[in-house]
């Protein structure tokens, strides 16, 4: 019996000797398998998108991040929405029904501007409590950004621009020419505006301060729709085309190619990548440099109008009307 017990103890491997408090011979196996941890694969930012739900069906036009919250505004409505993470959204109310076209954050406040031939703007410290403000002239105010302590707004079908230190007191400025201006962004010490244009000539403008503007040329005639800055470069995308363009300074532009011809409507930068979304599609694209683009899939075909980055996540909203949003880490 003693021999049998010894054989069982050794063949059981060795839970027995350890359980009995005995030492194994040098080099003997404990019977405990070596487990190699499975590497954690982090998705490429902007590569995987998840559907989210906004609080009401609206023509959501623009989304921005600041002060720990995403804020979205809607067209021909007084509806806004806030979210800490792009997932859980809460309905908010703007001061009046307007064609709200763009929202941004800076200097501790959100600022929204409206299209529809109006002077109406709005400010909020948190995206919840809004105060109506007045821009300098009746315009189709289409885009607003903030950098270097200054808000800059531009108007489409016009040469009108405006600057403000606080979103309350605005001063009229003049762009180099009358264009269907579409988007304005800041980077590398300069504001850059781009326009839908029948010619690349004069389809961009640069300014060191939002006050003095210089006309610039984009590589070709396109419906240039959105511009963003990141990784030392401006990237601009066009509606109804596979054409994009990049520039280190807003002055010299190089044509680039997106993965497919789409109604590219918005581009944003975050977490080391540009992310662009297209209207009337389920198509997105990402790029580390604005040059090399990879096609991505949004959760469903929608009029994806705006994308922003904050709190480690891209958030996109759709017009429609729609309740659709999407997030990507």
CA atoms of 166 and 134, how far apart (whole Å): 12
- Which residues share a beta bridge with 162? 153, 172
The torsion of the CA quartet 295, 250, 169, 130, rounded to 10 degrees, works out to 10
pLDDT digits (tens, 9 = 90+) for 286-309: 999 999 999 999 999 999 999 999
**DSSP state letter for 213:** -
Q: CA of 278: how far to CAs of 46, 107, 146, 181, 225, in Å?
A: 14, 30, 24, 19, 11
Class of domain 50-328 (CATH, top level): mainly beta
CA atoms of 93 and 107, how far apart (whole Å): 22
pLDDT digits (tens, 9 = 90+) for 68-87: 999 999 999 999 999 999 99
Tell me the mean pLDDT in the region 303-320: 97
Say which residues have a Cβ less than 8 Å from residue 183's Cβ, sequence separation at least 6. Answer: 142, 143, 193, 194, 224, 225, 226, 227, 236
pLDDT digits (tens, 9 = 90+) for 104-120: 999 999 999 999 999 99
pLDDT digits (tens, 9 = 90+) for 4-44: 333 333 333 333 333 333 343 444 444 555 555 555 556 78
For 85, other C-beta atoms within 10 Å of its C-beta total: 16
Domain extent listing, the chain: 50-328
Least confident segment among 40-44, 164-168, 180-184: 40-44
Predicted pLDDT at 199:
79
Share of the chain above pLDDT 90, in %: 84
CA atoms of 278 and 290, how far apart (whole Å): 16
pLDDT digits (tens, 9 = 90+) for 233-288: 999 999 999 999 999 999 999 999 999 999 999 999 999 999 999 999 999 999 99
Environment class of 104 (CB within 10 Å of its CB; exposed 0-12, middle 13-18, buried 19+): buried
């Amino acid at each position: 019996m003693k021999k049998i017990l010894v054989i069982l103890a050794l063949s059981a491997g060795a839970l027995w000797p350890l359980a009995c408090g005995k030492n194994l011979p040098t080099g003997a196996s404990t019977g405990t398998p070596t487990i190699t941890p499975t590497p954690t694969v982090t998705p490429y930012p902007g590569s995987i998108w998840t559907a989210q739900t906004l609080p009401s069906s609206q023509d959501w036009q623009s989304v921005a991040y600041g002060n720990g919250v995403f804020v979205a505004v809607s067209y021909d409505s007084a509806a806004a929405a806030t979210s800490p993470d792009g997932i859980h959204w809460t309905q908010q109310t703007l001061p009046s029904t307007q064609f709200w076209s763009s929202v941004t954050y800076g200097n501790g406040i959100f600022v929204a501007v409206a299209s529809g031939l109006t002077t109406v703007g709005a400010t909020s410290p948190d995206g919840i409590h809004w105060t109506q403000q007045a821009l300098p002239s009746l315009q189709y105010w289409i885009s607003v950004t903030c950098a270097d302590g200054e808000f800059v707004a531009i108007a489409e079908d016009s040469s009108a621009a405006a600057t403000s230190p606080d979103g309350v007191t605005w001063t009229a400025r003049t762009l180099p020419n009358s264009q269907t201006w579409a988007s304005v962004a800041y980077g590398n010490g300069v504001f850059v505006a781009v326009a839908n244009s029948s010619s690349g000539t004069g389809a961009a403008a640069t300014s060191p301060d939002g006050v003095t503007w210089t006309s610039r040329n984009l590589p070709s005639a396109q419906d240039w729709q959105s511009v963003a800055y990141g990784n030392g470069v401006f990237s601009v995308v066009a509606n109804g085309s596979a054409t994009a363009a990049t520039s280190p300074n807003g002055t010299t532009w190089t044509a680039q190619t997106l993965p497919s011809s789409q109604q590219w409507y918005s581009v944003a930068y975050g977490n080391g990548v540009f992310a662009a979304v297209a209207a009337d599609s389920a198509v997105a694209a990402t790029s580390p440099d604005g040059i090399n683009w990879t096609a991505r899939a949004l959760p469903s075909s929608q009029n994806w109008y705006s994308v922003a980055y904050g709190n480690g996540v891209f958030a996109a909203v759709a017009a429609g009307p729609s309740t659709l949003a999407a997030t990507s880490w």
